[in-house]
Amino acid sequence: MGTLMHARFLGTGVRALPVLSFCLVSLSWPTLTGAESTPPPHADAPATAEMTSNDVPSPIQEPEYSLDEDDHATTAELEAAEPPAPVASEPSTEVPPAEALLQLKPLNGTTARFTDLLTPPAEVVQEEASAQDQESDEATAYNVPIVLDPSVQGHIRFFNVSIRNRFEQWLIRLSHYRPLVDSIFSEFQLPSDLIYLSLVESGFNPHAYSRARAAGPWQFMKGTAKVYGLRVDSYVDERRDPVKSTVAAARYLRDLYDLFGTWPLAMAAYNAGEGKVMRALHTAQAESFSDIAKTRLIRRETKEYVPRFMAATIIAKNPDRYGFPQNDVRPHQFEEVVVKRPIHFKAIANVTGISYQELKVLNPELRRDATPPDDAEYHLKVPVGTREKVEQLLDRAPTHKFAPLPVPVRVRHVKPEPESGHWYRVRVGDSLERIAKRFNISVKTLKSNNNLTGPTIKAGSRLVIAN
């Protein structure tokens, strides 16, 4: 019997983010019909949830990737995005001080989240919502703040028209992982609608990668991933693991809510970083996301991020209205086998008959298609109903020998030595004093040997050092 294994990733608690030195007041934003945004408080000990099935899963197919592809991928296309995962030290579950958390920022100080793909044209953003739209959306209950202003409506039209096919694939993929996410979010007492944050982050693509090197369905940067207990090294990138990354995302979102007190601010901080949002609130003397969104204190990407989430949520909770099919997709389920040596997916496939591609889909965190070489035990995910078969046949699979990882080369700048012999070619930056000192002669002798009357020498010319 297959068991969805995520309870063991919930055991180590993470301290809440440090409290701000200034007061943050709850958001007074008008919402559509639905539950209040404030969730119940933390559970002291989240309960273990289990999912079982006798059916062999039919996972959503993900793009092929390799270690080399990782190191050179971009976000030009979401469906094909493939990340380089930087090598990191052993993960830690300890939260650093506030100062350190504020440094967990991506390249160039912004979190790259497929912004180019998800930003509608300006003329679309300016369109007003119709009375029919307003009435339809107000009939849906939400458990996070939702407004239907021109910006949100613009993103709705963008998802529904401009990138409709892509958005439909995101919805299909999300339905595959939804039972998993719902279970974990429930244990952390998070609003269930926060699941739609993954749509604007990655379309819940475990292989998604940004130009800023955020990876996985929840787009974690390496530094933040380490804080929340995710392993990132040359062999394993747990930012891609649907279970572990979702647990980390739940912890992070909970901590952000505890820090800011409102979900719009928490989501803005998820995109831009806690430090930027805190500084914007402090500088503007503001109390809500809508207040800082009117300023130039946060980037346009972050201003669009919350409306984008609201638009994705409205569509996802009203698929029939927008013409999106509600496909029956088998949930993400698996069993685990303990592997005590490095074994390649192909070797496992050869002795068990399990599809090589299915092993890749179930274990997207394994960057080199094999269990890590230095792990005494690794919990390999296999299709439901195959665990006993794999355990019986695993000894027949040969041990995988990894090719040596490339050693990072540190380029050391070595100051060129002066030419030996009787001649020396003048280099840029040279002076008579420097050359004389280099060859342990006097400036007077050097000038005399070369019939020089002044201190000027020209780069590229040759000087007589000794007669």
Positions marked catalytic: 201
DSSP code of residue 335: E
Give the count of alpha carbons within 13 A of 14, CB side only: 30
Contact yes or no for 232/244 (Cβ under 8 A):
no
- Burial grade of 63 (CB within 10 A; 0-12, 13-18, 19 or more): middle
The values of phi and psi at residue 275, to 5°, are: -60, -45
Question: What span, in angstroms and rounded, lies between the C-alpha atoms of 93 and 20?
Answer: 22
Question: What span, in angstroms and rounded, lies between the C-alpha atoms of 239 and 233?
Answer: 11
424, β-bridge pairs:
463
Q: List, as one string, the DSSP characters of 95-158.
A: PPPHHHHTT---GGGS---SHHHH---HHHHTPPPPHHHHHHHHTS-BSS-----HHHHHHHHI
CA pseudo-torsion sign 422, 428, 430, 432: positive
Looking up tokens 């949930």, which residue turns up?
Answer: 331
Contact yes or no for 318/40 (Cβ under 8 A):
no
**What is the token pair recorded at 115?**
């912004």
The values of phi and psi at residue 335, to 5°, are: -115, 165
Question: What span, in angstroms and rounded, lies between the C-alpha atoms of 189 and 173?
Answer: 23
Return the amino acid letter for 359.
Answer: L
The values of phi and psi at residue 462, to 5°, are: -105, 135
Contact yes or no for 331/340 (Cβ under 8 A):
no
